A and B are shown apart, each in its own frame.
Chain A
Amino acid sequence: MSIIVKNISKRFGSFVALDDVSVSLPTGQLTALLGPSGGGKSTLLRIIAGLERPDSGSIEIEGTNATNLPARKRNVGFVFQHYAAFKHMSVARNVAFGLDIRKTPKEATAARVDELLRLVHLEQYAHRLPSQLSGGQRQRMALARALAVQPSVLLLDEPFGALDAKVRKELREWLRRLHDEIPVTTVFVTHDQEEALEVADEIVVINEGRVEQVGAPDTLYDEPANEFVMGFLGPATRLGGELVRPHDIEVLSHDPGSEFLPGTVMRTTRVGFEVRSDVLVESDHFTGVVQCVATRAEARSLKLDSGAQVWLRKAPGSTSVATDAPLSAPNEFPFANYTI
């Protein structure tokens, strides 16, 4: 285990950011700290980096107790959401900063900077100022700067949060490939479940200052420990006493008899290749709005339109979590019966 977090608690005034968090992050892997904003994941990352002091608990990095070490002695690379580029230095000086501080010989520094700039595809920008780069380029520069000192762990705080959707997608694929090339233990914070599922080897779901679940992306998606994880790692809707993924709901246009619950389609929305529909289910033991997803072809053959009668059930063998969450009432959808 590369990073061992033990019983960390942190408060800001009366706000509890982290409540007795313990988690171990494996060596050489890409781990995502996933959770909603204000859930404590960034605080945990900053505590690991030494940029924030925990109120209690301990941090161990690569076998050394780092709890009382200042940030500069932890040998941790840190990448900030807003890049934290040294604005008055060229890209090359930025990347060389950590090496300069360590008094690395000039030739060695120059060689290492060249190597890293090639790695992040910024070799032709070496003499530009950060202000002359795009957001994605600045973040790659920040990554090269953090990697220059060969940190034992690399920490990224919402590294792609300030970038637009397309660049974000490119960069996370690139980060994944980079990590396969340089397998340094990496931890990144994100509130984007798709990003976590796509990039990470392991995901730690954090909510309200507590760890909800730790596991591989598939495990979390297929076997969520609770309602929160189920709801956060993808869409979920309530059918009967369970939370189910909308695409795991079987929809029929005729009454097949037992197991299925009858409902009326309230509205449908087409998003690209899929059709999302809200179905008002009214039966003896369950009344509420259920969200279903079908492909366009399925929707067409089922004649899914507002007002249509359908029968629903959870597809056998699909993921579900028992719930007692309040039902979404029909009147929460003011645009019901309105077909887009």
Chain B
Amino acid sequence: MVEKSATRYVLRFAVIVYLFFLVGWPVWLVGQHTFEQGLESLRAALSDPVVVFSLQLTLAVAVQAVLLNTLFGVGVSLLLARYEFPGRRVFSALLDLPLSVSPVVVGLALVLVYGPRDGWFGAWLHERGFDVIFSAPGMIMATAFISLPLVIREVVPVLQERGIDEEQAAASLGASPVQAFLRITLPGIKWALVYGVVLTFARALGEFGAVKIVSGNLEGRTQTATLLVEQKYQDFEQSTAYATAFLLAAVSVACIIVVTALRTDHSSTKARSGT
């Protein structure tokens, strides 16, 4: 018993030290730098129109990417969980691609397709006055691409576990497929969906590589918060960089807290219900 608890304390200590040096300390320092002169640097950053614009742009891009991925994600989840079709496994594997491919590659690939000069589809769009690259649509697409599987990976297991008995019961009681989806399926996958959406949102806020390439990083036009942090840092405006970074980190932490709260809530209801 004594040995066992000793091992446990050593392991615990190792984990805490590891997390402290890898995550805790660096994030703490960002906060410390932000509040070095009290709220001054935060106030200065928030009164800089370029900073405010970048935060607004980040939010707008993230929200739209989340919307796209939620709609697409639920549809694809239903397809994957409920239907057998040729190539289903390949399709499922492809959906994980965005998580494994470097965001920079994603950005370059989008430029190849939608670039205004050389893109095989972008040139055609450009002639008709619609730009994807170096403007909002491209940034939303890049963000949606890199966070594509997050909703799907949350929702599919829940759909598979639920089976289709409830939907079939609803159908036999006269519900149309849309009614069965809204009244039965959606409430059933609600928590998984919220969880996936929050993860997608957090990932979308922090996206850097793909957005940097497709946006062109134009200050006050296509510069998101992460891009601004990099630029301010390199321009020796450290306090602005830290303040913006702190805001991004704070939102992410808030997302993690929301997810943790949802997860315990969800798992406790699950444990209670049994079968």
User: Which residues on A are within 8 Å of B, measured CB to CB?
Assistant: 49-51, 70-78, 80, 82, 84-88, 97-98, 101-102, 129, 131, 142, 145-146, 148-149
A residues less than 8 Å from B260 (CB atoms): none
**Interface: B174 (CB within 8 A):** yes
Residue among A49, A88, A97 making CB contact with B170, cutoff 8 Å: A97
19 examples of A-B residue contacts, CB within 8 angstroms: A50-B171, A50-B172, A72-B171, A72-B172, A72-B173, A72-B175, A77-B172, A80-B168, A82-B165, A85-B166, A86-B166, A86-B170, A87-B166, A97-B173, A97-B183, A146-B172, A146-B173, A148-B173, A149-B173
B188 pairs with A98, CB closer than 8 A: no
A residues less than 8 Å from B170 (CB atoms): 86, 97, 101
In the bound assembly, the distance between CA atoms of A88 and B169 in angstroms comes to 14
Closest chain A residue to B166 by CB distance? A84
In the bound assembly, the distance between CA atoms of A271 and B221 in angstroms comes to 87
A70 pairs with B171, CB closer than 8 A: yes
**Interface: B128 (CB within 8 A):** no
A149 pairs with B165, CB closer than 8 A: no
In the bound assembly, the distance between CA atoms of A149 and B170 in angstroms comes to 12
In the bound assembly, the distance between CA atoms of A73 and B176 in angstroms comes to 9
B residues less than 8 Å from A50 (CB atoms): 171-172
A residues less than 8 Å from B100 (CB atoms): none
Size of interface on B: residues with Cβ below 8 Å to A: 20
**Interface: B234 (CB within 8 A):** no
In the bound assembly, the distance between CA atoms of A229 and B52 in angstroms comes to 81
A72 pairs with B176, CB closer than 8 A: yes
Q: Which 4 A-B pairs have the closest CB atoms?
A: A131-B273, A98-B173, A84-B165, A78-B172
Contact with A along B167-193 (1 / 0, CB 8 A): 011111111100100011001100000
**Interface: B272 (CB within 8 A):** yes
**Interface: B274 (CB within 8 A):** yes
B166 pairs with A98, CB closer than 8 A: no
Closest chain B residue to A85 by CB distance? B166
CB distance from A150 to the nearest CB of B (A): 11
Known pairs A88-B188, A131-B272; A78 contacts B174 (CB<8 A)? no
Residue among A49, A86, A98, A131 making CB contact with B174, cutoff 8 Å: A98
CB distance from B194 to the nearest CB of A (A): 14
Known pairs A86-B184, A87-B188, A88-B188; A101 contacts B165 (CB<8 A)? no
User: Which residues on B are within 8 Å of A, measured CB to CB?
Assistant: 165-166, 168-176, 179, 183-184, 187-188, 272-275
B169 pairs with A86, CB closer than 8 A: yes
Residue among A73, A78, A97, A149 making CB contact with B168, cutoff 8 Å: A78
A residues less than 8 Å from B172 (CB atoms): 49-51, 71-72, 74, 76-78, 146
CB distance from A337 to the nearest CB of B (A): 45
Known pairs A72-B176, A88-B187; A51 contacts B171 (CB<8 A)? yes
In the bound assembly, the distance between CA atoms of A162 and B175 in angstroms comes to 26
CB distance from B55 to the nearest CB of A (A): 37
A residues less than 8 Å from B188 (CB atoms): 87-88
Closest chain B residue to A151 by CB distance? B172
- Apart from A86-B184, A145-B173: 20 A-B pairs, beta carbons within 8 A: A49-B172, A50-B171, A51-B168, A51-B172, A72-B172, A72-B175, A74-B172, A75-B174, A76-B172, A78-B172, A87-B273, A97-B170, A97-B183, A129-B273, A131-B272, A131-B273, A131-B274, A142-B169, A146-B173, A149-B174
A residues less than 8 Å from B275 (CB atoms): 82
B residues less than 8 Å from A97 (CB atoms): 170, 173, 175, 183
Known pairs A51-B168, A82-B165; A101 contacts B174 (CB<8 A)? yes
Looking at B174, B175, B187, B275, the one whose CB has the most chain A CB atoms below 10 A away is B174
B174 pairs with A80, CB closer than 8 A: no
CB distance from A227 to the nearest CB of B (A): 36
A residues less than 8 Å from B165 (CB atoms): 80, 82, 84
Closest chain A residue to B269 by CB distance? A131
Closest chain A residue to B180 by CB distance? A72
A101 pairs with B171, CB closer than 8 A: no
In the bound assembly, the distance between CA atoms of A82 and B168 in angstroms comes to 12
Closest chain B residue to A142 by CB distance? B169
Closest chain B residue to A145 by CB distance? B173
In the bound assembly, the distance between CA atoms of A73 and B169 in angstroms comes to 13
In the bound assembly, the distance between CA atoms of A86 and B175 in angstroms comes to 13
